[in-house]
Amino acid sequence: MRQDLYAAYSLWLREMLRFFRLKSRLIGSLGAPFFFLAFLGMGFGSGPALPGIPQGTAYVSFLTPGIIGMTLLFSSTFAGLSVLWDREFGFLKEIMVAPVSRTAIILGRTAGGVTTSIVQATVILLSGIALGMTVTGPWGVLLSFVFMIFIAATFIGLGLAFASKMEDMSGFSLIMNFLIFPLFFLSGALFPLDRFPSAIRMLAYFNPLTYGVDGLRHSLIGTGTFAPALDLAVLVVSCLAMLGLGAYLFEISEVK
Rounded CA separation 40/25 (Å): 24
**Do 94 and 37 contact (CB within 8 A), yes or no?**
no
pLDDT of residue 51: 61
- pLDDT tens, 91-129? 666 666 666 777 777 888 888 889 988 988 998 898 888
* Domain spans, the chain: 2-44+56-252
Report residue 1's pLDDT band, with 50, 70 and 90 as the boundaries. Answer: low
- Torsion sign (Cα): 138, 111, 246, 155: positive
Q: In 22-58, which ranges are continuous DSSP H helix?
A: 23-35, 41-45
In this predicted model, what pLDDT tens digit does every residue of 23-49 receive, in sequence order? Answer: 666 666 666 677 777 777 666 655 455
Q: What stretch of H or E contains 22?
A: none
Chain centroid, CA 199 distance in Å = 25
